[in-house]
């Protein structure tokens, strides 16, 4: 028997064995080898190299755990006498161990368990030998298998006895969900203290929350009309949650109208306005608003409703609901906004706009309400006009800054105004364009300024100047008054002189372009009034540019052959061409072209009043090898022809003009392969066979 965690040495004794040099001891746990040990010779006195029988010991250190209980250890002595001797094994008896441990109490200091669970299910107690367990509550034994109830919660003592005795104090909590008790209906008088209470039990201690209209509330000690309604009470802990509803009824005079709120509605949609007030007795309702045909009113079940069908801009404004009974009266006003529509003032001015030319015949404008319901209009008048006449007349000789305004006060909308868009205009006396430096020509790439003067035009705020280059619109600009103030921001509506400028940058291709400016007067009528200046023609001066496509950087010249260099340049004024070269060079100059006869560096310069441009040409001398090549080819042809004729003549002489005989052939002494006639034939002949035939 061993104690868990303590170190032990297990010894294997082997008496009287030799030779020890061939001996090995192995340790086994069951059938598994766990260690090969070094032998210790006990007798005689650690003579490791002796061949006499000796007594040996093998020791295995071991620290047991609870998992090692029941393990079977043995040692095995193995004698290996190979190659001439046998291999011998001798094993000891098995040693079975028992490991003693515990008791181990695997419990928290605080145990939380549900009702009907037992203590035994929440603590694990291990040990060898098996410990005895005892639970105590308030010093009295308690059966750990008993299903727990909420009243069993408290402090417990756990005693475990085994190889040791262990004692542990444990706080036990029994968990259960909330139990909530509330009255379903509670009635009270306004401003009277109440005794409404709800009770709740549970563990952990439940949290109770009161809700009204999905918002957390705290019930006041004294109830008012605002506190009447349905309440939801919830009680919750980590086990569960429960709720209950309580209807509080408070007797009071008409209460605040809380359901009627400012409203936004999309244009063309339908919306309902609800006016509801609680009170005893039930309130009666009336409405004040700008009445239109698409609004319907309905009263039912203590609620008054206004339904707006296909909302328009005329439904924008204030809506006031009045609620009253014999206890009192209350009103609420809201604002309705129609999204996608602008607030409309239900006024109409005819004609509008009114556009009149300076010194033309006078006309009148009439203001009226667009509503057919007379009760919607409280008052209507022209600003600055004392009479009740709703027609306004203008003076076309002097009403430059006049802005007539018609004002009215409407039910639900309030005070609103509508202005007559009145324009008294005057065409300009003249429009002129010129170079600010009074020039008719400009240099290429240099910015210059054009100015447009417009004399006596009104109103200046409506003037836009269009600049034209030939037939194309170059730019659109605003104008300026003589005090350098921009026309758009001027408040002067009487005739004034205005001007505007633009900066222009021209290239050589723009030479001869025609410019003009046009005063465009937007009057508000269908067709704007426009007046155009005369044209201004601009000549563009530019420095020369040499045409390099006809004049490469390098030009070859053959000895004895002249080469003409052509230098052309584009410029305004027309440029002058001048060549630069070595004075010793053999050249001819004619009309700006240079004829050269030899190599060298030649510089072409084109200049006018604007500037100059230079271009350098390098002439390279090349030999003309064509005659030499032709002569060489002719000599070669003659030589080949001569050789051919010579060979052919020899061949013809020897084959056509001589006679041959085979009667007495004479063979050469050199190799025996050449036969000669009586003459000195120099051409080789093939040796004939032993039989010769002469025909």
pLDDT in tens, 161-183: 988 888 989 999 999 999 999 99
pLDDT in tens, 454-486: 999 999 999 999 999 999 999 999 999 988 889
pLDDT band, residue 654 (cuts 50/70/90)? low
Q: Residue 384 pLDDT > 90, yes or no? A: no
- Residue 282: predicted pLDDT: 87
Which structural domains are found in the chain, ordered by start? 2-97 (2.60.40.10), 104-176 (2.60.40.10), 182-251 (2.60.40.10), 263-339 (2.60.40.10), 347-423 (2.60.40.10), 426-540 (2.60.40.10), 547-622 (2.60.40.10)
Query: Distance between terminal CA atoms of the chain?
Result: 140
Confidence (pTM): 0.44
pLDDT in tens, 311-346: 999 999 999 999 998 778 999 999 999 999 988 899
Region at 647 (left for phi over 0; alpha for psi -120 to 50; beta for the rest): alpha
Stretch (H or E) spanning 641: helix 626-656
Distance, in Å, from the CA atom of 260 to the CA atom of 332, rounded to the nearest integer, reads 7
Residues 6+ apart with CB under 8 A from 169: 109, 155, 156, 157, 158
At residue 37, the 3 state secondary structure works out as strand
Question: How many C-beta atoms surround the C-beta of residue 157 within 10 A?
Answer: 15
Q: Residue 212 pLDDT > 50, yes or no? A: yes
pLDDT band, residue 679 (cuts 50/70/90)? very low
HEC profile of 195-242 = CCCCEEEEECCCEEEEEECCEEECCCCEECHHHCEEEEEEEECCCCEE
Place of tokens 């007797």: 251
- Residue 43: predicted pLDDT: 52
pLDDT in tens, 495-554: 999 999 999 999 999 999 999 999 999 887 677 889 999 999 999 999 999 988 888 888
pLDDT in tens, 539-593: 999 999 998 888 888 888 887 788 888 899 999 999 999 999 888 888 888 877 8
User: Between 211 and 692, whose confidence is greater?
Assistant: 211
Q: Residue 40 pLDDT > 60, yes or no? A: no
- Residue 263: predicted pLDDT: 92
- Residue 671: predicted pLDDT: 39
Q: Residue 674 pLDDT > 50, yes or no? A: no
């Amino acid at each position: 028997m061993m104690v868990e965690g303590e170190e032990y040495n297990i010894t294997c004794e082997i008496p009287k064995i030799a030779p020890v040099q061939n001996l090995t001891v192995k340790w086994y746990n069951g059938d598994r080898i766990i260690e090969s040990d070094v032998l210790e010779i006990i007798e005689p006195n650690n003579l490791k190299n002796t061949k006499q029988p000796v007594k040996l010991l093998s020791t295995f250190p071991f620290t047991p755990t609870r998992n090692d209980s029941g393990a079977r250890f043995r040692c095995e002595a193995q004698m290996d006498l190979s190659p001439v001797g046998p291999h011998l094994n001798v094993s000891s008896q098995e040693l079975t161990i028992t490991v003693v441990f515990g008791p181990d109490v695997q419990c928290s200091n605080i145990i939380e368990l549900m009702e009907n669970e037992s203590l035994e299910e929440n603590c694990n107690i291990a040990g060898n030998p098996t410990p005895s367990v005892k639970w105590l509550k308030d010093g009295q034994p308690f059966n750990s298998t008993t299903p727990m109830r909420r009243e069993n919660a408290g402090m417990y003592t756990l005693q475990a006895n085994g190889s040791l005795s262990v004692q542990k104090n444990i706080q036990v909590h029994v968990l259960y969900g909330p139990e909530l008790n509330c009255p379903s209906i509670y009635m009270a008088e306004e401003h009277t203290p109440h005794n409404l209470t709800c009770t709740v039990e549970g563990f952990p201690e439940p949290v109770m929350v009161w809700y009204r209209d999905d918002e957390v509330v705290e019930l006041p000690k004294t109830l008012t009309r605002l506190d009447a309604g349905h309440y939801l009470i919830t009680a919750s802990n980590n086990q569960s949650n429960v709720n209950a509803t309580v209807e509080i009824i408070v007797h009071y005079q008409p209460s605040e109208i809380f359901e009627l709120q400012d409203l936004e509605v999309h244009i063309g949609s339908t919306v309902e306005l609800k006016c509801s007030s609680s009170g005893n007795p039930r309130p009666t309702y009336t409405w004040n608003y700008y009445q239109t045909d698409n609004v319907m009113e309905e009263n039912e079940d203590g609620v008054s409703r206004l339904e707006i069908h296909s909302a328009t801009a005329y439904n924008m404004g204030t809506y006031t609901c009045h609620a009253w009974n014999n206890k009192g009266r209350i009103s609420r006003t809201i604002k309705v906004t129609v999204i996608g529509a602008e607030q409309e003032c239900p006024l109409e001015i005819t004609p509008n706009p009114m556009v009149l030319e300076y010194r033309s015949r006078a006309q009148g404008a009439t203001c009226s309400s667009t509503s057919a319901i007379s009760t919607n209009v409280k008052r209507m008048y022209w600003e600055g006009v004392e009479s009740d006449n709703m027609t306004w007349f203008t003076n076309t000789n002097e009403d430059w800054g006049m802005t007539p305004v018609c004002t009215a006060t409407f039910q639900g909308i309030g005070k609103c105004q509508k202005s007559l868009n009145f324009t008294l205009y005057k065409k300009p006396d003249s429009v002129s364009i010129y170079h600010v430096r009074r020039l008719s020509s400009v240099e290429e790439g240099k910015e210059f300024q054009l100015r447009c003067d417009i004399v006596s035009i009104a109103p200046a705020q409506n003037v836009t100047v269009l600049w034209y280059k030939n037939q194309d619109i170059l730019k659109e600009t605003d104008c300026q008054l003589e005090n350098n103030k921009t026309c758009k921001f001027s408040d002067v509506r009487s005739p004034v002189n205005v001007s505007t400028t633009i900066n222009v940058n021209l290239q050589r291709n723009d030479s001869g372009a025609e410019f003009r400016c046009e005063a465009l007067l937007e009057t508000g009528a269908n067709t704007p009034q426009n007046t155009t200046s005369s044209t201004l023609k601009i000549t563009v001066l530019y420095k020369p540019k040499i045409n390099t496509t006809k004049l490469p950087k390098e030009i070859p010249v053959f000895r004895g052959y002249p080469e003409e260099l052509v230098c052309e340049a584009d410029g305004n004024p027309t440029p002058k061409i001048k060549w630069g070269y070595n004075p010793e060079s053999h050249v001819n100059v004619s009309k700006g072209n240079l004829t050269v006869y030899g190599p060298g560096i030649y510089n072409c310069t084109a200049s006018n009043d604007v500037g100059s441009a230079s271009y350098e040409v390098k002439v390279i001398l090349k030999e003309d090898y064509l005659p030499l090549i032709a002569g060489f080819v002719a000599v070669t042809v003659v030589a080949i022809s001569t050789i051919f004729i010579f060979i052919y003549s020899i061949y013809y002489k020897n084959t056509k003009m001589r006679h041959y005989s085979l009667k007495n052939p004479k063979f050469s002494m050199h190799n025996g392969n050449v036969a000669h006639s009586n003459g000195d034939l120099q051409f080789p002949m093939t040796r004939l066979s032993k039989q010769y035939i002469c025909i």
